[in-house]
Chain A
Amino acid sequence: MITPRSEAELAEVIAATREPLRVIGGGTRSVVPMGNASVLTASGLSGITLHEPGSLTLVAQAGTPVEQIEAALAAEGQRLPFEPMDHRGLLGTQGTPTIGGVVAANVSGPRRIQVGAARDFLLGVRFVDGAGRILKNGGRVMKNVTGYDLVKLMAGSRGRLGVLSEVSFKVLPMPEVTVTLVLQGLDDAAAVRAMAQGLASPFEVTGAAHWPGKGTFLRIEGFAGSVAYRAGQLRAMLGGEIEESAQRWTEIRDVAPFHAAEGDIWRLSVKPSDAPGLVARAGAEAVLYDWGGGLVWLRMAPGTDLRARIAPFQGHATLVRADAETLARLPLEQPEPAPLAALSSGLRDKFDPRGIFATETDPVRAVAS
């Protein structure tokens, strides 16, 4: 395991390498086992560089543990608004999730439906590209249209374009109160309709999930008086009971119902109203709806090609957990149409001209020189 201790050392290592590198943070979100690739971890680049609560800004080195960032923010009554999930339970991985890993995989939780994804709160990046160049884009301010937005391009790029060394975020205050409206007895289609009604209300629902067998959940956050008012209005509209615990949302965020269960795990991103019909076609063993139905977690019989099963559909399906044979046979990510695949591949050639970055989705990319 290669563990650079500074950005400069990271750049030297990459410039000097002659073989493909598999880049990780804490390695907790890796779907495909490491195999024989050399592994480079950014976890040696650790520490919060800047936290200005009055500017809602936090800058940290990419290897900083998420836990450390959340604790520092909590001490000032703030948080990462996009609620990144912890993949360890679902994937059975060990280790310490890093903030760079959150960015590289654009990891967002239930609040994504209201406030946006990790990429929406990422203000700036520093990274080392495949040629060993130290590059920066964006910055630490909330509004910035100076040049191309490579910040978005790096978010979710899963190590294809470079190794993140530093990331900066817009953060938000933690709410005073969190409550959940729980609806019982709804089938999938009725649940998605109820969530859509809640999300289309002026009551600022910050989470909308349907857990078959357990209930349909709508979260309200904010100042006490406001939360009481909005929860009351929503209940008048949809019925149900008010629950005070916030624990439910950690379980939904981390897809807790699938942790111990056997089977492949898929993540389906679709138009919410399409979700129940697609789920019916998929023949899943179990499902969990988040984002008002826009995100569906499916537990499938091992080896099932979900995409083939529900095609044609608008959206995308990602394979999140499966055995080695299935991982070798099915692409993790929804294949792109040819013109987009050509653009993506063109970008990889520019950022990584020597083919150094062997990602889990593309472990055999050849080194040119």
Chain B
Amino acid sequence: MDMPTPNPVILAKKSRLVERLLTVLPTDAVIHLEAETRAYECDALTAYRCPPMVAVLPSTTQDVSDILRICHEMGVPVVPRGSGTSLAGGALPTADCVILGVARMNAVLETDYENRFVRVQSGRTNLSVTGAVQENDFFYAPDPSSQLACAIAGNIAMNSGGAHCLKYGVTTNNLMGVTMVLIDGTVVEIGGAYLDAPGLDLLGVICGSEGQLGVVTEATLRILRKPEGARPVLMGFDSNEVAGECVSDIIKAGVLPVAIEFMDRPCIRATEAFAKAGYPDCEALLIVEVEGSDAEIDEQLEKIVAIARRHNPVELRESKSADESARIWLGRKSAFGAMGQINDYMCLDGTIPVSQLPYVLRRIGEMSKEYGLDVGNVFHAGDGNMHPLILFDANKPGDLELCEAFGADILRLCVEVGGCLTGEHGVGIEKRDLMVNQFAPEDLDIQMAVKDVFDPQWLLNPAKVFPLAASEARRAA
């Protein structure tokens, strides 16, 4: 993955920049020694690393405004960073950039149960937003797997999803407002504790803009009352086609499960060897979870089980207790770890129409043979968001490149069948050069024109999202 060559003119400004940053920030908030900037050299896409020129750790919106004003005046690129858990390289620095990390900004500013929202600083972690309201039986719905660590700032930048978004939606559906700092230091309030702002939906385009339009410092988030309970049913099938049909039939029947998770045979086997959850040895496994009171759960599970039986499952296990639920989820929750035990892996994130599931899984199997790399599939089947895990050996020369080529083929396949490159991880640098497969040049141009409006000099996270060749003229301007 290429990154632009660091600009020597900017590198030469380092000492002056540090000096100016220290006029607005305390010493411990400006990290500029080479040994220390290394802590920010990568995010969760660890194959790519590059220490930034400087990292800054603001505590307030005013700090962020001061930092951006200085960087804007000096023409220094800024890469915003939440907790650094991006799988797409969204927070990967360049050698001539300032990393702006919001981790110190983690306060809860307001909780309002009557109107059902919280306002937090954007460095707060996803899970700790729920943590702040759970004693009153409320929760924040989007639940990316990294929720223990990932920050709301990153969730907003990537429009993160999670396992439960079939019912509750993704970040953009749960975000009511933001305080954001524009590249010149201007602080703006967009949306708030009320619905559907007037004029153009700026909040909608900011969410998912990968830190390229501004730095979000505070967020107003919708919170929901916890359901009375939740229980899953596990079902095994002897073909992916049948499992796919079963998903479709459940959805058509009017049941809206909170999650429908799918695992294929390679993933089931790896998981069994690792976590011993007692999963059946079959082609495809579904975990379907529903919510409500005990009686409501029984009512929904009864309908789901009746549908599953029509598809001759090789296994059907309905949870009747918290203990049984935990056993059913155990394998699914250890799937990534199990695959990681076997080898290094790359996790993809393409989304496809649910109806294309069997075809896409078959093609991935064929390609796996052609590339000679194993792949396991574990994903959110209800919304077609796939997570193929390609196994490779990072220490074997050429294996990473082979894996990336295989991954690119899978993503092209997702686009071909009517889907997209990324359902919840974001483009970052990882899928940047594949954008031309999903978008015509003019479709990319109008997106870049949006960035032109917010950040005319392309200083915010400039080398991400768009193919470098497509954004070159703008970045150079």
Residues of A at the B interface (CB closer than 8 Å) are 52-57, 76-77, 106, 108, 112, 116-117, 119-120, 129, 133-137, 139-153, 155-157, 160-161, 172-176, 193, 196, 199-202, 223, 225-226, 229-230, 269-273, 291, 294-295, 314-316, 318, 333-334, 336-337, 339-341, 343-344, 346-347, 349-351
A232 CB to closest chain B CB, in angstroms?
11
**A172 surroundings in chain B (CB, below 8 A):** 256
B205 within 8 A of partner (CB): yes
The verdict on A150 contacting B354 (CB below 8 Å), with A155-B204, A347-B200 known, is no
The verdict on A333 contacting B198 (CB below 8 Å), with A55-B355, A150-B205 known, is yes
**In the complex, are the beta carbons of B355 and A52 less than 8 A apart?**
yes
B477 within 8 A of partner (CB): no
* Nearest-neighbor residue (CB-CB) of A124 within chain B: B420
**In the complex, are the beta carbons of A140 and B418 less than 8 A apart?**
yes
Which residue among B188, B355, B444 has the maximum number of chain A CB atoms within 10 Å of its CB? B188
**In the complex, are the beta carbons of B248 and A55 less than 8 A apart?**
yes
Which residue among B158, B254, B440 has the maximum number of chain A CB atoms within 10 Å of its CB? B254
**8 Å CB contact of B453 from A120, A201, A294, A350:** A350
B111 within 8 A of partner (CB): no
**A344 surroundings in chain B (CB, below 8 A):** 199-200, 202
**In the complex, are the beta carbons of B201 and A155 less than 8 A apart?**
yes
B465 within 8 A of partner (CB): yes
The segment out of B35-43, B123-131, B288-296 that lies at the interface is B288-296
**In the complex, are the beta carbons of A144 and B351 less than 8 A apart?**
yes
**A175 surroundings in chain B (CB, below 8 A):** 254
**B293 surroundings in chain A (CB, below 8 A):** 226, 229
**A193 surroundings in chain B (CB, below 8 A):** 114
* Nearest-neighbor residue (CB-CB) of A340 within chain B: B188
Residues of B at the A interface (CB closer than 8 Å) are 112-116, 137-138, 158-159, 161, 165-166, 169-170, 172-173, 182, 186, 188-190, 192-205, 207-209, 225-228, 247-249, 251-256, 292-293, 295-296, 299-300, 303, 351-355, 380, 383-385, 418-427, 431, 435, 438-440, 442-444, 446-447, 449-454, 465
The verdict on A225 contacting B296 (CB below 8 Å), with A145-B208, A147-B444, A334-B198 known, is yes
**In the complex, are the beta carbons of B159 and A145 less than 8 A apart?**
yes
**In the complex, are the beta carbons of A145 and B204 less than 8 A apart?**
no
The verdict on A202 contacting B200 (CB below 8 Å), with A54-B249, A141-B352, A226-B296 known, is no
Pairs A-B, 4 closest by C-beta atoms: A152-B204, A54-B248, A143-B423, A173-B254
B334 CB to closest chain A CB, in angstroms?
23
CA–CA, A226 to B228, complex, Å?
12
CA–CA, A106 to B423, complex, Å?
23
**B435 surroundings in chain A (CB, below 8 A):** 146-147
**In the complex, are the beta carbons of B447 and A148 less than 8 A apart?**
yes
**In the complex, are the beta carbons of B450 and A117 less than 8 A apart?**
no
Can you list 18 contacts pairing A with B, beta carbon distance less than 8 Å?
A53-B252, A55-B355, A119-B196, A120-B172, A129-B446, A135-B442, A141-B352, A142-B166, A142-B351, A142-B384, A147-B447, A152-B204, A156-B196, A157-B201, A200-B116, A225-B299, A226-B292, A226-B293
**In the complex, are the beta carbons of A143 and B116 less than 8 A apart?**
no
B285 CB to closest chain A CB, in angstroms?
19
A345 CB to closest chain B CB, in angstroms?
9
**In the complex, are the beta carbons of B351 and A339 less than 8 A apart?**
no
CA–CA, A113 to B340, complex, Å?
42
**In the complex, are the beta carbons of A271 and B194 less than 8 A apart?**
yes
**In the complex, are the beta carbons of A54 and B355 less than 8 A apart?**
yes
**A135 surroundings in chain B (CB, below 8 A):** 442-443, 446
**In the complex, are the beta carbons of B194 and A174 less than 8 A apart?**
no
**In the complex, are the beta carbons of B188 and A339 less than 8 A apart?**
yes
A111 CB to closest chain B CB, in angstroms?
12
CA–CA, A340 to B33, complex, Å?
38
The verdict on A144 contacting B199 (CB below 8 Å), with A119-B204, A196-B115 known, is no
* Nearest-neighbor residue (CB-CB) of A199 within chain B: B116
**A152 surroundings in chain B (CB, below 8 A):** 172, 201, 203-205, 207
**In the complex, are the beta carbons of A350 and B452 less than 8 A apart?**
yes
**B225 surroundings in chain A (CB, below 8 A):** 200-202
Which residue among A53, A140, A147 has the maximum number of chain B CB atoms within 10 Å of its CB? A147
CA–CA, A223 to B300, complex, Å?
8
* Nearest-neighbor residue (CB-CB) of B414 within chain A: A141
CA–CA, A99 to B131, complex, Å?
40
**A140 surroundings in chain B (CB, below 8 A):** 353, 418
**8 Å CB contact of A116 from B169, B192, B252:** B169
**B449 surroundings in chain A (CB, below 8 A):** 350-351
B38 CB to closest chain A CB, in angstroms?
29
**8 Å CB contact of A350 from B137, B443, B450:** B450
**In the complex, are the beta carbons of B195 and A141 less than 8 A apart?**
no
**8 Å CB contact of B208 from A134, A139, A148, A347:** A148
